[in-house]
Structures are given as C-alpha cells and as structure tokens.
C-alpha cells in the first residue's frame, strides 16, 4: 500500500496524495459492500481485479478520445490518476431493465429498452443516494446545464463503446454507473473527465448465452461467488489467463508521469466556477 498521506477512504477505495501536484494515488480495497454499507465482506483479490479491469476499460476509452482521470497503473492495487473536482452526481446508463429500475416500475428484469435511459443520483450516503432530476442538479448548483449536456454526451458514447466491447466477449452490458470530475486550466476553463472506476462493482454484466450474472448483484442478492465472476470477466477481456495469472507483470514504484490523454478537449465553460457542493 502507498505510504503517501491518505486523503479519503471510501467503501472500496482509498485515495492518497500523488507524487506530483495535481495527481492522486487510488488504492483498490478488497472490501465489498451492499445496501449503502449495511452488508460488508472482505473478498480476497477483488481489489486487484477491479484495478486491472478499470485500467483496461479506462485506457480503452482514452484510445477512442474519451478523456478520463486515469494516468497509469502503479502496481496490482494502485492507479495514478488526475486530481479532479468530483461532481456530486452518479450517472447511471440503463440498457436493460434490472435492479431498482425494474423494482420502481414493477416490470420484469431483462427487458431490452428501445433506447438507453440516463438517470442521475445525488452522491450522498447519508441520504441513501436519492434519484434527482436535471432541474435539481442545476437549481442546487451541483453542475451547470453545459456540463450536464457534456456529461450526457460522454455517457452515451461510453455506453455505445462498452456495449460493443462486452458483446465481443459474450457479455451483456445491462447498466452501469459513471462519475465525472472537473479540471481547470490556467485560464479557468473547465473540462469534464470520466472519474472513479469502471468495473463489475459499477456495472451489471450478464452472460449473453446463459444470463448468468457476472457482477456485484451476486453479492447483493446472495446468488453466487463474485470473486469467480470477476475472474471470468477479467479472463474474457484478456486481463488474466486461464490459471488466473495477471497477464501484465506487476509494476514497480511511481515513475515520471506521462499522461495518456490523446485528445485536446474543448472546455465546457470559460472562467466560470460552479459552486462546489457543501
């Protein structure tokens, strides 16, 4: 584990000061929670798998021009990422009815939606992450309209790409959660980046042929072994081999930073600083 000063500890990750200004080290824990932390277990190796899967997916997004906070993987459990101002909204993209969507509207799970649905939830454990509208978001100044437009555009593009990527390894992307952050340049321009992680913790993934769950719902519902499921996702993506060995060698200590951003994004706003969530 990193010896840098800890900044924040969440349910599944710990954030530490990075080696250079504007960077953070993100450490993936083995802790697994459900029900806003009411259910909790430590599942050996889960953090390693989520680190590797998230690295793979975020790098793939960078390669098609979607900007993320990811810089590089440091070792089996740690990533070096850009420090961003997190927008306090969880963005959920749904392709198939499942989870709370099915429960709220009394419909069966597994119905393919005619088009993706984007939902917004306030990031607040205290309030149990309530669902909010775009009007709530702009009224309470969690984000401005231009940022929401960019977030929606990015979310749908991520959905299109990940749907195809997972389909190529015979996995259905049912739904997934994204978080976004702001970065500022010297002139005060704001850029929106995909932040946090993308892993089976934040996605619903079903086997195309059998419908078998390959995600955190196995833990939420006591329906199976999530370690085995996460290994299967990593294996299909080519991250580990058939013997569960990580194909890429473990990397050493922090090296000089070389960002992987391959595009020059346009700023969302110029010299505007939306009020931070308090």
pLDDT at 56: 98
Residue 89, by phi and psi: left (phi above 0), alpha (psi -120 to 50) or beta?
beta
Residue 251 has pLDDT above 80, yes or no: no
Query: What pLDDT band is residue 275 in, cutting at 50, 70 and 90?
Result: very low
Query: What pTM value is reported for the model?
Result: 0.88
> What is the average pLDDT value for the chain, to the nearest integer?
89
267: pLDDT confidence band, cut at 50, 70 and 90?
Answer: confident
| Amino acid 258: pLDDT | 34
Q: Residue 37: which pLDDT band, with cuts at 50, 70 and 90?
A: confident
Fold of 6-84+227-236: Phosphorylase Kinase; domain 1 (3.30.200)
Instruction: Write out pLDDT tens, residues 165-180.
Output: 999 999 999 999 999 9
What is the reported pLDDT for 194? 98
- pLDDT of residue 278 exceeding 50, the answer is no
**Separation of alpha carbons 217 and 175, rounded Å:** 12
Q: Name the band, by pLDDT with cuts 50, 70 and 90, for residue 203.
A: very high
Q: Is it the case that residue 144 has pLDDT exceeding 60? A: yes
pLDDT interval class at 268 (50, 70, 90): confident
| Mean pLDDT to the nearest integer, 207-233 | 96
Asked whether residue 70 carries a pLDDT value surpassing 80, the answer given is yes
Domain-wise residue ranges, the chain: 6-84+227-236, 85-220
Residue 157 above 50 pLDDT?
yes
Give the pLDDT band (50/70/90) at residue 270.
Answer: very low
CATH topology of domain 85-220: D-amino Acid Aminotransferase; Chain A, domain 1 (3.30.470)
DSSP string, the chain: ---SPEEEE-SSEEEEE-SSTTEEEEEE-SEEEETTTTEEEE-TTHHHHHHHHHHHHHHHHHHTT--BSEEEE-SSSEEEEE--EE-SEEEEEEEE--HHHHHHHT--TTPEEEEEEEEEEE--TTTT--EE-HHHHHHTTSS-HHHHHHHHHHHHHHHHHHHHHHHTTTEEEEEEEEEEEEEE-TT--EEEEEES--STTTEEEEETTT--B-STHHHHTT-S-HHHHHHHHHHHTTSB-TTS-BSSPPP-S---------S-PPPSBSS--PPPP-
32 or 262: whose pLDDT is higher? Answer: 32
């Amino acid at each position: 584990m990193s010896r840098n000063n800890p900044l924040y500890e969440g349910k599944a990750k710990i954030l530490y000061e990075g080696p250079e200004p504007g960077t953070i080290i993100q450490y993936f824990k083995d802790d697994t929670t459900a029900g806003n932390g009411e259910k909790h277990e430590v599942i050996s190796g889960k953090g390693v798998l989520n680190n590797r899967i998230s690295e793979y997916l975020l790098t793939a997004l960078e390669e098609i021009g979607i900007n993320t906070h990811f810089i590089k993987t440091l070792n089996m459990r740690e990533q070096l990422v850009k420090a961003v101002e997190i927008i306090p909204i969880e963005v959920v993209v749904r392709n198939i009815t499942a989870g709370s969507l099915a429960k709220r509207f009394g419909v069966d799970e597994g119905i393919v939606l005619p088009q993706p649905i984007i939902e917004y939830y306030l990031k607040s454990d205290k309030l149990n992450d309530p669902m909010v509208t775009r009007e709530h978001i702009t009224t309470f100044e969690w984000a401005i309209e231009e940022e929401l437009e960019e977030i929606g555009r990015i979310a749908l593009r991520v959905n299109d790409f990940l749907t195809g990527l997972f389909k190529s390894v015979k996995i259905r992307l049912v739904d997934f959660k994204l978080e976004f952050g702001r970065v500022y340049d010297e002139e005060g321009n704001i850029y929106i980046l995909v932040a946090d992680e993308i892993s089976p913790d934040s996605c619903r993934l079903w086997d195309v042929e059998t419908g078998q769950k390959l995600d955190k719902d196995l833990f939420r519902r006591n329906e199976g072994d999530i370690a085995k499921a996460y290994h299967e996702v990593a294996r299909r993506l080519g991250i580990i081999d058939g013997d569960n060995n990580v194909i890429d060698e473990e990397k050493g200590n922090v090296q000089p930073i070389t960002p992987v951003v391959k595009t020059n994004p346009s700023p969302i706003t110029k010299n505007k600083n939306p009020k931070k969530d308090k």
